[in-house]
Amino acid sequence: MSEDTAAAVAKEKAPAVKESGLSALLGSAAGRNTGLVVALVLLCLGGVVTAGDRFADVDNLLTILRLAAVIGVVSVGMTFVITGGGIDLSVGAIVALSSVWATTLATQGLANDIHWIVIVLTALLVGGACGLVNGVLIAYGKVVAFIATLASLAAARGLAEIISNRKTQIVNVPGFTAFFDASVLGVPVLVVIFAVVAAGGWVLLNRTTFGRRTFAVGGNPEAARLAGIDVRRHTVMLYSLLGLCCGLAAVMLIARTTTGSATHGGLYELDAIAAVVIGGTLLTGGRGTIAGTVFGVLIFTTLSNVFTLNNLSISAQAVAKGAIIVVAVLLQQRLARRSGA
């Protein structure tokens, strides 16, 4: 039977790839996310009208993307956890702890002696390990995700403070900075990383058994169990994946700020969850969209960019932000309903 399959697959691969190609992807993503796209376009229009060239400038757009990159990577990971029926409040703290651990004098020493990749690996390792702990607590310890990750939040921040002695750790590893400061065909490396993570996340969620199982685990864990999925192991993998994303985000943040700090990643949990949810992923699990999340992240970053370009006071920004969020969601609903999705 598996040979059959292989043959059939081989035969059908070409058209399948064609159909699921970029245009189809964009098409379907845009279709399901009409409201978000419209909201983003309106926002950009607002930017152009109020700030003209200062908004529509390539540099500015790259700035928006660069700002979106760090929280974007976390949000992609968060999309998996939420789709799988979970939640993680500790992401900001994990980013902080990873950033601190990856920039201690010891790590930087190793990085200078061996290769700057040591910093990256340390951050990924720390992030992944934190995610693993979260996952095990939740899946095997049966601690409610909200509480387990709230506890991790406190513990990871505390640990970050202890390790860093609450000091901002400045990075002096030339290779590291040079690598992440560079651009690829004019696109900053950080933005490239975000794009790769988003694309990878999309493929993982929509084109692999891991992704299918994530939907099942989040949508109906009992059904998933009956279908033979090891729900607990899968849950651990989801949190570990998010932990890795946090580690990567820490690397990006280190590159952006040239520092590791226990204060990094403040309130990332709210930002990431907000981006994911506004993107259309169900907080109750079982339904999730990476494209939506990316739009969600872009909407929030563009919003603060436009505000800043307009020199708006912080208080007015807050009020406007509240109103715009509601409008965006209502828009998304109305448009999604109309298109029957």
142 binds a second copy (CB under 8 A): yes
Instruction: Indicate the pairing of strand 169-170 with strand 187-188.
Output: unpaired
Q: Collapsing DSSP states into helix, strand and coil, what is residue 128? A: helix
Window 92-111: residues binding a second copy (CB under 8 A): none
At what angle are helices 189-207 and 174-181 packed, to 10 degrees?
Answer: 70
> Which stretch, 13-21, 36-44, 102-110, 266-274, contacts a second copy (CB under 8 A)?
266-274
Cβ contacts of 183 within 8 Å, gap of 6 or more: 189
Cα–Cα separations (whole angstroms), residue 312 to 15, 48, 300, 301 = 51, 16, 16, 15
59 binds other proteins (CB under 8 A): yes
Cβ contacts of 161 within 8 Å, gap of 6 or more: 262
243 binds other proteins (CB under 8 A): no
CB of 261 within 8 A of CB of 100? yes
What stretch of H or E contains 188? strand 187-188
How many whole angstroms separate alpha carbon 341 and alpha carbon 333? 10
182 binds a second copy (CB under 8 A): no
Hey, what are 212's tokens? 């299918």
CB of 268 within 8 A of CB of 71? yes
304 binds other proteins (CB under 8 A): yes
CB of 224 within 8 A of CB of 216? yes
Window 272-301: residues binding other proteins (CB under 8 A): 282, 286-287, 301
Window 60-89: residues binding a second copy (CB under 8 A): 89
156 binds a second copy (CB under 8 A): yes
> Which stretch, 108-116, 120-128, 143-151, 253-261, contacts other proteins (CB under 8 A)?
253-261
Nearer to a second copy, 159 or 251 (CB): 159
Nearer to a second copy, 193 or 236 (CB): 236
341 binds a second copy (CB under 8 A): no
Q: Of the candidates 49, 117, 162, 167, which one interacts with other proteins according to CB under 8 A?
A: 167
The CB-of-162 to a second copy minimum distance in angstroms stands at 5
Q: Collapsing DSSP states into helix, strand and coil, what is residue 166? A: coil
Nearer to other proteins, 268 or 295 (CB): 268
CA angle 92, 96, 97 (to 5 degrees): 120
The CB-of-269 to a second copy minimum distance in angstroms stands at 9
Hey, what are 143's tokens? 């601690």
> Which stretch, 22-30, 136-144, 176-184, 202-210, contacts a second copy (CB under 8 A)?
136-144
155 binds a second copy (CB under 8 A): yes
Q: Of the candidates 94, 96, 111, 137, which one interacts with a second copy according to CB under 8 A?
A: 137
Cβ contacts of 39 within 8 Å, gap of 6 or more: 299, 324, 327, 328, 331, 332
185 binds other proteins (CB under 8 A): no
161 binds a second copy (CB under 8 A): yes
Binding site for a second copy (CB under 8 A): 89, 137, 141-144, 146-148, 150-159, 161-162, 166, 270, 273-274, 277-278, 283-284, 313-323, 325-326, 329-330, 333
